[in-house]
Structure 1
Amino acid sequence: MEQNPKIIICDCDHNNIDMEKSVFDKAGCGFKWLHCHTEDEVIKECQGAVCFLNQYAPMNEKVFKGVPSLKMIVRYGVGVDNVNLEDADKYGVQICNVPDYGMNEVADHALTLMLACVRKAWLLGNRTKEGAWNYAESIPVHRLSTLTVGIVGTGRIGSEFAKRVKALGCKIIAFDPDYKSPSRHFPQDITYCASLDELLKQSDVISMHCSLNAGNHHMMNKEAFAKMKDGSYFINVSRGGLVDEDALDEALTSKKLSGAGIDVVNKEPLDHNSPLFKHPNLIITPHMAWYSEEAALELKRKCAEEAVRFLNGEPVRYPINHI
């Protein structure tokens, strides 16, 4: 690794960076792997860098001003929650992500959570371990083909989830605020709702597949859960910030929801004292929907390749902003 390379992996908690190294070595690019957590650490350790590979460390005006050589950041993942895009535009920093590396895995995980909730497999599996042997504890369970599944957001992952749910014979409806956008392609065999409220009222299962932004923070709040059908189910594999966790706790406590499956929370890891853990009909997985061995390697490869493209003056493949 070079002393003052143009590419710095400023923070990455993976066990190794063998894939990134192979890409950089092939391209003849030097790099350095660090474990910065704060803006100050990034500024101190990353002087001279042109490209960052970034996982969690905050990227904002302080960093952009403190590392004036920085011209590009590619994030390990889909979301760019930790990056201030306005600041990036102001300082001319190209921001990229990797939106397509784990879309099949996330769609599969959403389906897994949905089936485990609706079929009560999680609930009864745990009860059986406790010594119970009584299917009646699962009542009521409804035939999947009788259910209406509402999908919030039909980008890459939401569309893949829709394909899987369609195979079960469910009715599929969706809400996407960009549905009318001519630059987006949308599945043609889904009924789109004019509003989120319409989707909430009609769905037996709601699955979240949208990015987090200032306009939809805690969009699933007390009022939103109140509009859902009594006894419905809620799935979130997108971003924890979409959900008011106090409202989710209340919806489960009141039996408004028959169950829920979530892979993301507002602050990770979820505090072990969180009231959400008391609900036997809530499945919580540790932000692992994206993961398979194949997806993990694809993510690392695509992050490294995007940085190489930028340094070589080639068009980037996954721009978030347009510099």
Structure 2
Amino acid sequence: MKIVITEFMDDAAVDVLRAAFDTCYLPTLVDQRADLLAQLEQVDALIVRNRTKVDAALLAAAPNLKVVGRLGVGLDNIDVAACAARGIEVIPATGANARAVAEYVIGTAMALLRPAYTRSAETAAGKWPRAALSNGRELSGKTLGLIGFGGIGQLTARLAQALGVHVIAYDPMFGPKAPVWAATGVACTRIDDLLRVADIVSLHVPLVDQTRNLINATALAKMKKTSILINTSRGGIVDESALAQALHASNLGGAAIDVFMQEPLAADTPLADAPNLILTPHIAGVTEESNTRVSAVIATLVGNYLRQKQSL
């Protein structure tokens, strides 16, 4: 059976697949669409990250495709309904990058609360902005509001609680009496209340019709002027123009954004010159350790699925 891997994967996991299957690993194939489609006529398994579009055209070029492995958890780049209609299994690496995302949330929150962490160039240049940088804030004692309380949200809550942070969360999938609230010590909260009281708001929801532009100008206006917004979920959940306006108007304390409507960002993005803003290129869930875990999980699950198909 043949496997094609279109984006970067840990070498050890690729070697595991090569030992058992005809494996084509070309991590730049994602940027060579015509070459990618040409590779798929006899492919049984496809392994992707978030940039490969598993759409109608790709599926049409892969008549033998049996399984898609996703090196991550979001599935918005994969036409899941079309895969299901064809009987193609879609396998995400659920939970394997959760710690990386949770640590990103904590780390960027601390950096934005205490701006000295991101302004070392001034001290290196011989300036001494001690007074200006002495008004940073501590994470301990703050309120973290999580919008979405799945596995990543729950791990983020545990890390924050260990640092003395009060955690509240909104998730319509869990009712107020769901066991998860007592088990985690997190308060179930309405979204409007969360936006109003949280010092840090972190997003952990998929991009669906109900969450598109969830954080728009109206939502941002409900937040404290000192609050911090962190988005590691999906672009399109935050209205980027509204966020830039809020930052320029000092109506928000800061933001860390890892995911965007357009990736890579357009040169004329409204976020380009916004103050108190950390921008990262969709890497919150990608570390050396998480890449090893994600790759190993997908190599195992995809390999096992193909072996089951072979045995039928």
TM above 0.5, yes or no, is yes
| Structure 1 residues 265-311: Cα deviation after superposition (integer angstroms, max 9, x where no partner) | 22222234433232341112222222322221222222211111111
Work out whether residues 39 and 58 of structure 1, in 8 Å CA contact, stay in contact via their aligned partners in 2: no
Q: 1:35-93, CA deviations, whole angstroms, 9 ceiling, x for partnerless residues?
A: 14476544322112121112222112333233221121011111111111121122211
- SS of 2:146's equivalent in the other structure is strand
Give 1:83's aligned residue.
78
For 1:98, the equivalent position in structure 2 comes to 93
What is the distance in 2 between the residues matched to 1:270 and 1:130? Answer: 30
Structure 1 residues 77-86 or 211-220, which shifts more?
211-220
The answer to whether residue 192 in structure 2 is matched with residue 188 in structure 1 is: no
CA distance in 2, matches of 1:234, 1:114: 8
Q: Give 5+ residue unaligned stretches, structure 2.
A: none
Using the alignment, how far apart are the partners of 2:195 and 2:178 within structure 1?
Answer: 26
What one-letter code is carried by the residue in structure 1 that aligns with 2:96?
Answer: Y
Report the equivalent of 2:12: 19
| 2:293 is equivalent to residue 298 of structure 1 | yes
Kept in 1, the 8 Å contact 2:176–2:188? The answer is: no
What is the CA-CA distance between 1:167 and the residue it aligns to? 1.9
Partner residue in 2 for 1:243: 238
Matched with 1:287 is 282
Change (3 A) 1:283 1:129: farther
The alignment partner of 2:255 has SS state of: strand
Q: CA deviation at 1:137?
A: 2.1
> Does the 8 A contact of 2:68 with 2:91 survive in 1?
yes
Question: What is the aligned partner in structure 2 of residue 321 from structure 1?
Answer: none
Shift of residue 239 of structure 1? 1.8
Post-superposition shift, 1:200?
0.7
Within 2, Cα distance between the matches of 1:182 and 1:304? 38
Q: Does 1:44 align with 2:23?
A: no
Q: Does structure 2 retain, via aligned residues, the 8 Å contact 1:107–1:161?
A: yes
- The question of 1:229 aligning with 2:224 is answered yes
Q: Equivalent of 1:153, from 138, 148, 168?
A: 148
Alpha-carbon distance, 1:25 to partner:
4.0
1:276 aligns with 2:268: no
> In the TM superposition, what is the alpha-carbon distance from 1:128 to its structure 2 partner?
3.0
CA distance in 2, matches of 1:197, 1:98: 32
- Cα contact 2:45–2:68 (8 A) shared by 1: yes
Q: Which is bigger in relative contact order (C-alpha 8 A, separation at least 6)?
A: 1
Distance 1:207 1:17, change over 3 A: closer
Mean Cα deviation higher: 179-188 or 283-292: 179-188
Q: Tell me which residue corresponds to 2:21.
A: 29
Q: 1:251 to 1:131 in 2, by over 3 A?
A: farther
1:267 maps to: 262
Shift of 1:224: 1.0
Tell me the alpha carbon deviations over residues 10-35 of structure 1, each in whole angstroms, 9 at most, x when there is no partner.
x11x3x76323321244x22222241
The match for 2:131 among 133, 136, 161 is 136
SS of residue matched to 1:105: helix
Could you list the per-position Cα deviations for residues 117-148 of structure 1 after superposition, in whole angstroms to 9, with x for gaps in the alignment?
A: 11223454344345442333247544433321
Rounded Cα–Cα distance in structure 1 between residues aligned with 2:11 and 2:71? 15
What's the % identity of the aligned pairs? 30
Q: CA RMSD in A?
A: 2.5
User: Structure 1 length as normaliser, TM-score?
Assistant: 0.85
With over 3 angstroms needed to count, the CA separation of the structure-2 counterparts of 1:179 and 1:144, relative to structure 1, is same
Q: CA deviation at 1:221?
A: 1.0
Judged with a 3 Å threshold, the aligned counterparts in structure 2 of structure 1 residues 272 and 39 are, in CA distance, closer, same or farther, namely closer
Shift in CA distance, 124/64, structure 1 to aligned 2, threshold 3 Å: closer
Alpha-carbon displacement from aligned partner over 1:208-258 (angstroms, at most 9, x marks no partner): 122222321221111111111222111122222211110110110111101
Q: Structure 1 stretch 41-50 or stretch 166-175: which is displaced more?
A: 41-50
Structure 1's 216 and 313: CA in aligned 2 closer, same or farther, altered over 3 A? same
- The CA deviation at 1:108 is 0.8
Q: Please name the residue that 1:258 is paired with.
A: 253
Residues 96, 257 of structure 1: alpha-carbon distance in 2 compared, 3 angstrom cutoff: same
Superposition TM-score, scaled by structure 2 size:
0.88
CA distance in 2, matches of 1:123, 1:293: 23
SS at structure 1 position matched to 2:296: helix
Give 3-state SS (helix, strand or coil) of 2:253's partner: strand
Asked if residue 109 in structure 1 is aligned to residue 104 in structure 2, the reply is yes
- Structure 2 residue identity aligned to 1:30: D
Distance change in 2, residues 1:114/1:63 (3 Å):
same
